[in-house]
Every structure is written in structure tokens, then in C-alpha cells.
């Protein structure tokens, strides 16, 4: 992306526009104490703040302070934070970090950069968040994935590492703005300047962004294979071929394979109660239709009911005659339809 040296006038206009657009920009992680924020920031690595906020209430009810977080068993902590990703490493870092806070700092989260970065799982980004949000100190700029992306798009830095981008932002903005700059860019990255398909037409700083024109021109390009403007589409305009990625969608076998590869919809996954004729195969519990179909096919193969000459054809035994009527079923699709008629 373009990253020419921004002028002082553009910097002031950019800061004022972002401040007016996001006057309430702040850390979106929920916490009640410094140690809880520290743990939440560690969990937010490669994870969204929304997901972290769904996990931390249960975690903090059981472990409200550094001592209890350090003493919680590894497996218990892994289960509680599993949905945030990289849960094994995060659990190790949280326990080690809280143990260090308890033993070396008497349960109090440090208030200096030098001390914070000695803790497990704490780098400059995490330390900057703690210093700014908890202690009101600005010793640097928090550079996460949004700040890293927007700094390049807005032409604020040519660096590709968090350390390099932080140095450039600290040089361009006053120390009083360091904390606000990170919040502005993070909020703007989450609401407008997405990693894929940024909302340039609705962007408040579009006129100050050297990348906006590039993204808007890309969005105007016609789809591959579509007819150019001003020309009538050819007789066999590849609408069908686009959907099937070059394969004819009229082939019934291919169409069946694509349909079966799709994820079943919610209606197909609703629990159903098999009737007495199916109880010998699947039992009497309510199960999803997909599981019912799998069990039926497993039963058919296990008992040698499949026709060896034509593997798609099956001959149902007495236990399934109430469903299939003793007929040979052509395919799994037809079998599924018959099963669905006999389930409630």
C-alpha cells in the first residue's frame, strides 16, 4: 500500500477526524481488576474480543485474582479457554504469569514497562494496553493486527513489524495521543477498514487515505468471465459454468456429489424419533436425521445387504421392510427420502 511520509496537516486532520468519529473509543475487553485485564489481553491473541468476553466471566467467577489463577489445574484452565484458540500455550502462560505476579509482585500487576515485559506471555503490545488502560501511562503505542494493517494503508508507516510501526507512530503523534491513536485505529479497523473488502465508500477518512482510491478501483473491476460493459452477453454466457467452476451442472451425479458435500441445514439436523421398525437398527433415542442415515447404511453394509453387482442398490431385510417396502433403493438420496417419511 502507499506509504509516503504524511504531512503535518494531514496528520492533524486524520487525528481530529478519527477523534470525532470514535469519541468513545476504548478497550473493549471486560474486566474488573488489573490482573483480569492482563489475562484477557493474553487470551485475545489470535482471537476476537467478543469471544474473549464470552469466556472470561466463567473464568473470573472461579479465579478472581492472581493466586487462584496461578493455582488452577492446567486441564481445567484449558477446558475453560478452549474456544479462544491456542488454549494449551495460553493456559501455560496465564498460570506462569499469575504465579510471577503473586510471588514477585505480591499479587499486584506492575506499572512499568520494564517489569511488565518480564512476565510470561507479556510483550510490548500487552504491556502498552495495561499501562494505558489501568495506570493511565503512555509509554508506547499498542500495535495489534488492526493497527499494523491501518498504519500501512493510511501511509503512516512502511514498516511491516509491530516494533517498527510503533516507532513510526510514536514519532508522528504526540505522547498524549499514543493511547488514543491505538484505540482509534483498532475501532476503525473493526468497523470500516476490514482486512478483506474495506468499506472505502463509507469511510470517514477516505479523502486522507492514499489506499482508498486503489481499493475502490479494484471493487469496480468486473467479475472474471463476465461480459464487458457496452457489449451484449454471448449466447452461452457462463452463468451455469461460473456456478459449477467449469463443470456442467446438468450432470446429475456431480450435482448429487456437491449436494452431499454441503453442510446439512438446520432443518435436516433436527432430532427425530425413529419408529418401531427402525428401533432394531438405531435404538429408541431421538437422533439427527444425518446420524440415522449413517446408521442405516452401516447396518446394511455390516449385514451384507448391499448388492455386489450394483453397489448403489440395496435390498432391505425384514427389519427395514416397513421403511423400504422390500424394494431396492437406487441411491442414498432416495433412501433418505423414504426414511424421512417414516420419522416424526
Res. 236 pLDDT band, cuts 50 70 90: very low
Average pLDDT, the chain: 80
Mean pLDDT over 104-119 rounds to 94
- DSSP helix/strand/coil, 272: strand
CATH code at 58?
1.10.340.30
In this predicted structure, which of 149-158, 199-208, 222-231, 237-246 has the lowest mean pLDDT?
237-246
Cell match 481530529: residue? 16
**Together in a domain, 101 and 183:** no
State the angle between helix axes of 178-191 and 145-153 in degrees (0 to 180), rounded to the nearest 10: 90
**pLDDT over 70, % of the chain:** 64
Is pLDDT above 90 for 54?
yes
CATH code at 323?
1.10.245.10
The pLDDT of residue 248 is 46
The pLDDT of residue 269 is 54
pTM: 0.62
The pLDDT of residue 25 is 93
Catalytic residue among 125, 138, 168, 180: 125
**Together in a domain, 171 and 128:** no
**Together in a domain, 102 and 161:** no
Res. 204 pLDDT band, cuts 50 70 90: very high
The pLDDT of residue 175 is 93
Is pLDDT above 60 for 200?
yes
Contacts of 196 (CB under 8 A, 6+ apart): none
> Is residue 236 assigned to a domain?
no
> Is residue 120 assigned to a domain?
yes
Catalytic residue among 90, 138, 144, 180: 144
The pLDDT of residue 244 is 42
In this predicted structure, which of 61-65, 96-100, 246-250 has the lowest mean pLDDT?
246-250
> Is residue 16 assigned to a domain?
yes
User: Residue 325: which region, alpha, beta or left (left: phi > 0; alpha: psi -120 to 50)?
Assistant: left
State the angle between helix axes of 145-153 and 162-172 in degrees (0 to 180), rounded to the nearest 10: 60
From CA 72, how far away is CA 52, in angstroms rounded? 18
> Is residue 230 assigned to a domain?
no
From CA 185, how far away is CA 176, in angstroms rounded? 16
C-alpha cell at 30: 471486560
> Is residue 307 assigned to a domain?
yes
**Together in a domain, 46 and 122:** yes
The pLDDT of residue 246 is 45
**Together in a domain, 117 and 41:** yes
Say which residue, 97 or 4, is predicted with more confidence.
97
**Together in a domain, 111 and 178:** no
Cell match 457496452: residue? 230
**Together in a domain, 77 and 14:** no
CATH code at 185?
1.10.1670.10
**Together in a domain, 99 and 180:** no
Mean pLDDT over 327-333 rounds to 56
Residue 9 annotated in active site: no
C-alpha cell at 253: 451425479
| Residue numbers of the domain that contains 168 | 8-22+144-208
Residue 137 annotated in active site: no
**Together in a domain, 116 and 167:** no
Mean pLDDT over 261-271 rounds to 54
> Is residue 242 assigned to a domain?
no
> Is residue 68 assigned to a domain?
yes
**Together in a domain, 194 and 334:** no
**pLDDT over 90, % of the chain:** 58
Is pLDDT above 60 for 272?
no
Res. 209 pLDDT band, cuts 50 70 90: very high
**Together in a domain, 105 and 85:** yes
From CA 274, how far away is CA 288, in angstroms rounded? 10
Is pLDDT above 80 for 75?
yes
For the chain, the domain total comes to 3
Domain boundary among 188, 208, 228: 208
Domain boundary among 106, 133, 160: 133
**Together in a domain, 15 and 97:** no
> Is residue 48 assigned to a domain?
yes
From CA 260, how far away is CA 269, in angstroms rounded? 14
Mean pLDDT over 56-70 rounds to 95
The pLDDT of residue 6 is 74
Is pLDDT above 80 for 10?
yes
From CA 172, how far away is CA 187, in angstroms rounded? 20
Domain boundary among 67, 98, 133: 133
Amino acid at each position: 500500500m502507499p506509504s509516503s511520509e504524511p504531512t503535518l496537516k494531514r496528520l492533524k486532520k486524520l487525528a481530529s477526524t478519527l477523534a470525532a468519529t470514535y469519541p468513545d473509543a476504548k478497550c473493549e475487553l471486560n474486566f474488573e481488576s488489573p490482573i483480569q485485564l492482563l489475562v484477557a489481553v493474553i487470551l485475545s491473541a489470535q482471537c476476537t474480543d467478543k469471544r474473549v468476553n464470552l469466556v472470561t466471566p466463567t473464568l473470573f467467577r472461579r479465579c478472581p485474582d492472581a493466586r487462584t489463577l496461578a493455582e488452577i489445574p492446567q486441564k481445567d484452565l484449558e477446558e475453560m479457554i478452549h474456544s479462544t484458540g491456542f488454549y494449551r500455550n495460553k493456559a501455560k502462560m496465564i498460570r506462569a504469569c499469575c504465579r510471577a505476579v503473586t510471588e514477585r509482585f505480591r499479587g499486584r500487576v506492575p506499572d512499568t514497562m520494564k517489569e511488565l515485559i518480564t512476565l510470561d506471555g507479556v510483550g510490548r503490545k500487552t504491556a502498552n494496553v495495561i499501562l494505558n488502560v489501568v495506570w493511565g501511562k503512555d509509554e508506547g503505542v499498542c500495535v495489534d493486527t488492526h493497527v499494523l494493517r491501518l498504519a500501512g494503508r493510511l501511509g503512516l508507516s512502511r514498516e511491516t513489524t509491530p516494533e517498527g510501526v510503533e516507532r513510526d507512530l510514536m514519532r508522528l503523534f504526540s505522547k498524549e495521543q499514543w493511547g488514543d491513536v491505538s484505540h482509534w485505529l483498532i475501532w476503525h479497523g473493526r468497523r470500516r477498514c476490514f482486512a478483506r473488502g474495506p468499506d472505502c465508500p463509507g469511510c470517514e477518512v477516505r479523502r486522507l487515505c492514499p489506499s482508498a482510491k486503489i481499493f475502490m478501483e479494484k471493487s469496480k473491476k468486473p467479475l472474471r468471465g463476465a461480459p464487458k460493459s457496452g457489449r451484449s452477453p454471448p449466447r452461452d454466457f457462463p452463468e451455469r459454468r461460473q456456478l459449477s467452476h467449469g463443470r456442467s451442472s446438468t450432470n446429475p451425479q456431480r450435482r448429487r456429489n456437491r449436494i452431499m458435500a454441503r453442510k446439512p441445514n438446520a432443518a435436516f439436523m433436527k432430532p427425530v424419533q425413529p419408529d418401531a421398525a427402525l428401533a432394531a437398527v438405531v435404538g429408541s433415542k431421538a437422533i439427527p436425521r444425518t446420524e440415522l442415515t449413517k446408521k442405516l447404511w452401516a447396518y446394511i453394509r455390516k449385514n451384507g445387504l448391499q448388492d455386489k453387482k450394483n453397489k448403489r442398490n440395496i435390498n432391505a431385510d425384514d427389519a427395514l421392510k416397513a421403511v423400504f417396502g422390500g424394494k431396492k433403493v437406487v441411491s442414498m438420496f432416495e433412501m433418505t427420502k423414504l426414511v424421512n417419511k417414516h420419522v416424526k
